[in-house]
Amino acid sequence: MKILIAEDDTSLRRVLVSILQKNNYSVDAVDNGSDALDYLCSDLYDAAVLDIMMPGMDGVSVLARIRAEGHTTPILLLTAKSEIDDKITGLDAGANDYLTKPFDMRELLARLRVLTRKTNVQQSSILVCGNTSLNTGSFSLSAPGGSYKLASKEYQTMLLLMRSPETVISSSKFLENIWDPDSRAEENTVWTYISYLRRKLEAIGANVQIRTIRGAGYILEVRR
């Protein structure tokens, strides 16, 4: 699952990213409404968390724009205000849910599970590249020769690759999306997990490979 966080409070944004990553979400984070709008128009996200009060463009304006353009990504609004009018305005603009700050992270996770569960009823939970598939519900990597249930970091690494096959993904992109900013993870950490996945792909008879592009990153491609 890929989530967008749009929150201008740096400390809260970092906490949200860390919590979501620890719960097996892939996360992008921005600190203003204009960037949030650009990211959401890509339709790459299973859900988004938008702060109402952001510089440049507020969360409700972002929400209204993407709904007007036909984007259906589930949106959870965050607000420091408790007035009923703000909640009504957000819901009328197309929000799927809202939370008032301060909130318990467990409630945020529960609400995101509901939003993404509704989305998954309509969307396939299987990503396919060549003869290889990744089940986003069970974390299973499968090919004609068998399957593996991936550990959390393996799954998130493979998910990034499967979402963008034939595309070079840098080590920094893996680190930003998967590891806590305060962790000691580095490029060698990414290489280690890529190595785990390569061995598993070979063991299950996958016809795809993760190729290293020196100085650029890694690419998932079908063997020619």
- Predicted local confidence at residue 105, as pLDDT: 92
When pLDDT is averaged across residues 112-137 and rounded to a whole number, the result is: 78
Q: What's the pLDDT tens digit per position in 163-202?
A: 899 999 999 999 988 887 667 788 889 999 999 999 999 9
Q: In the structure, what pLDDT confidence band is assigned to residue 82 with cuts at 50, 70 and 90?
A: low
Please work out, in degrees rounded to the nearest 5, the angle formed at the alpha carbon of residue 150 by the alpha carbons of 148 and 152.
175
Q: What is the mean pLDDT of residues 133-152?
A: 90
Burial class (CB in 10 A: 0-12, 13-18, 19+), 83: exposed
Question: Would you say 204 and 145 are in contact if contact means Cβ atoms under 8 Å apart?
Answer: yes
Give residue 115's pLDDT. 86
Domains of the chain: 2-122 (3.40.50.2300), 126-222 (1.10.10.10)
pLDDT, position 41: 84
Quick one: pLDDT at residue 89? 81
> Range with the lowest mean pLDDT among 3-7, 71-75, 219-223?
71-75
Q: What is the pLDDT of residue 121?
A: 47
192 SS3 class: helix
Peptide bond into 102 cis (omega under 30): yes
The pLDDT of 28-42, averaged and rounded, is: 90
pTM score: 0.56
Beta bridge partners of 140: 135, 149
